[in-house]
Structure 1
């Protein structure tokens, strides 16, 4: 393939398709919940697809329009063209991400990619050229979709025969690199059978596309080995859940806008206000970056997942960590948000995080002092005295905070906001009425 750093044009794509004997092109996009959707076209249809997009019925896509206004157009983005390494080489298969449009060829307001593009336009209007994102997606390998039995008892960074996933991880990394995704490193995580493959930070839109590609690639290669890869936030009781620690920074004129050589934390006013925006708005954004009932089984004190709204440099119990500055590494000055999980919709998550940070910059939010002590060890009244709030404890609580959020409404737009709140309230209602095994074991014998 051509150099992944060079954005491809439609003409490049048509040439590559011919050179590499590509027979089918999958057009990828995501629904409101971040599930990957696709349909396939014959490579002979490509010129038409680039010219006017490909029509499809959006009525059965979660969060898209109802039947009476379901006509949609998928406009392929040539710069995202890549050959799928898990498909046969002969008469191969490639993919492109699409922007979804209405029949009038205006951006469709229910398209998560459009929501992120809109947030990026706001950053540009405020003078920032680039919003860089580096997410760390953790996941588990299991025997199958019904049996969450770990494949090993390995721990953090273990490299032993216990790490049953290392060959599989290696093949997955090679595939990601073929797909134009730069992998920095890969290792066994804290939980048994838990893994992490870290992608090098990139511009937010490319990174959101890369997250979607990463998740499907990890799952495809697990299936090849007869296994199931899961990005469920908390599949195992009593073990760490899977997070998606997300590193964020803004660039202006090619320089990192978060860096200030004269500040004690090496953080500029822009960086501080951006972080203050995350802290102030994280409760109302929670249903976006932790969007499932199961997400809140991970966000509990004591399992490496942060729940308290504070920032720190070393303390991993805080919501935001600012990694220590190393001389000569000004470009890597960033903040790390530790609460998102890998089952979120990356487009909506990056969009809402950017909007919260820009809100802080535009309105000059003050950043409180860092909290360097372990917040899990503070008594509740001491936390209250320090004014440290915490994330919502359930999806039910989170979605009601989101439903009242002007920031999230502006980020998603009215159409998507209303759909999202409706879908998530329904999920919470479905969960609330379940009678679990825990309740039966606990109450049936004594009540």
Structure 2
């Protein structure tokens, strides 16, 4: 037993923790949980705890259902919303096969494999997400969500619901060791943003899953509900998860080169070129729902075209320069991700695309200086700016031809995502929408 595991067992005894929840994530990014008694933890650390993997989306077929959960002691945290005595804690768990090898269906291990490849090249991968979400009244009105306020971007509303909510959520996150950099009201009514302080990608993916659980818990405590749906209301901004990415070689930022344009190194330029080259192929991962494409193609600074720029918020990839004199802060921002993405898989494909750009020394195309949304289609074509997939169907068709995405995800996850998303598109296509009824029922 290692020191972290010993620390967990000692803390559980000292703090009267009676329930320990093992958290893991299915292929679609849904958080799963199983509670174990503290007395079972020592065995769980050494051997894992058995469960039926065939009951979890994408994990296993019925005839190969036996799987194991092994808790990661480094992720131990007490859950502040469950009360103090007796307490409840959680740890993320890795999914193993009965022989002790990692399950090919575990999204956490997909990301770990991608990080191992980066490590073999001498890189550590850091991410810093800006996570947007909506707060709604608990009850729908005429089948529609009702925002908790009518405020807008950066609005300060005295005694506002969003202020109280963000303060409570951030306090809870920090009590769990998750650092928050910024928070504010976003552009839509009831829309908020909380930015997490940068961390290595695996820790950050765990933090994002915890963040979503905390936001939903605090919302329920205050009598509201929170949604990370990419586009919950027509005519209002969608909820994205703009993510800042950087590669470090030891303590050195591999993206930084003093005196270069935007202080961006050749490594950074190749990384962006890889993101742009493979964007159509990985969009079904970073934007995995039918609703995701209503955000991407809904304007309001959502990026629908494959291009990059410095201070261009209509571009898919941006090179921010908030602190040009500070080399450690050089990074790239990917703006296409939505808040409903599975962070483990999303970060895997972004890292994989960037590394391909570095390995193949891909050339970075000229930057887009104009508002891409205001250009005509002919102007965009003349500039070589291609569109992202316009629907889940198009994204699926592009991904299924991608050897790159299949390699990053592994065939098991790759095949499951495609099957699941084809079924979602078929179910969506079968619907008769309110728009069609209003538009055509009496006219035709």
TM-score, normalising length: structure 1: 0.97
CA RMSD of aligned residues (A): 1.2
Aligned partners of 2:183 and 2:194 also within 8 Å: yes
- 2:327 is matched with which residue: 325, 330, 333? 330
Q: 1:353-390, CA deviations, whole angstroms, 9 ceiling, x for partnerless residues?
A: 00000000000000012111111111111111111001
2:431 corresponding residue in structure 1: 434
Aligned partners of 2:133 and 2:228 also within 8 Å: yes
Q: 1:291-329, CA deviations, whole angstroms, 9 ceiling, x for partnerless residues?
A: 000000100152110111111111100001100162441
Aligned pairs for 1:331-350 within 5 A: 331-350=328-347
Gaps of 5+ in 2: none
Aligned partners of 1:8 and 1:81 also within 8 Å: no
1:321 lines up with 2:318 in the alignment: yes
Aligned pairs for 1:281-320 within 5 A: 281-300=278-297, 302-320=299-317
Per-residue deviation at 1:185? 1.3
Q: Residues of 2 paired with 1:437 and 1:119: CA distance?
A: 43
2:121 corresponding residue in structure 1: 126
1:144 lines up with 2:135 in the alignment: no
Q: Residues of 1 paired with 2:76 and 2:319: CA distance?
A: 35
1:98 corresponding residue in structure 2: 93
- 1:18 is matched with which residue: 13, 20, 29? 13
Per-residue deviation at 1:145? 6.6
Q: 1:10-48, CA deviations, whole angstroms, 9 ceiling, x for partnerless residues?
A: 011111111111011000000000000010001111111
Q: Residues of 2 paired with 1:294 and 1:218: CA distance?
A: 21
1:84 lines up with 2:79 in the alignment: yes
- 1:38 is matched with which residue: 33, 45, 51? 33
Aligned partners of 1:133 and 1:246 also within 8 Å: yes
- Runs of 4 or more above 3 Å deviation: none
Gaps of 5+ in 1: 1-6
Q: Residues of 1 paired with 2:300 and 2:159: CA distance?
A: 22
Aligned partners of 1:314 and 1:321 also within 8 Å: yes
Residues 428/300 of structure 1: CA separation in 2 closer, same or farther (3 Å cut): same
Q: Residues of 1 paired with 2:103 and 2:343: CA distance?
A: 18
Residues 339/145 of structure 1: CA separation in 2 closer, same or farther (3 Å cut): farther
- Provide the secondary structure at the position in 1 that maps to 2:316: strand
Q: Residues of 2 paired with 1:163 and 1:69: CA distance?
A: 52
How many correspondences in the alignment?
A: 440
Q: Residues of 1 paired with 2:234 and 2:298: CA distance?
A: 14
Q: Residues of 1 paired with 2:322 and 2:437: CA distance?
A: 52
- 2:64 is matched with which residue: 64, 69, 73? 69
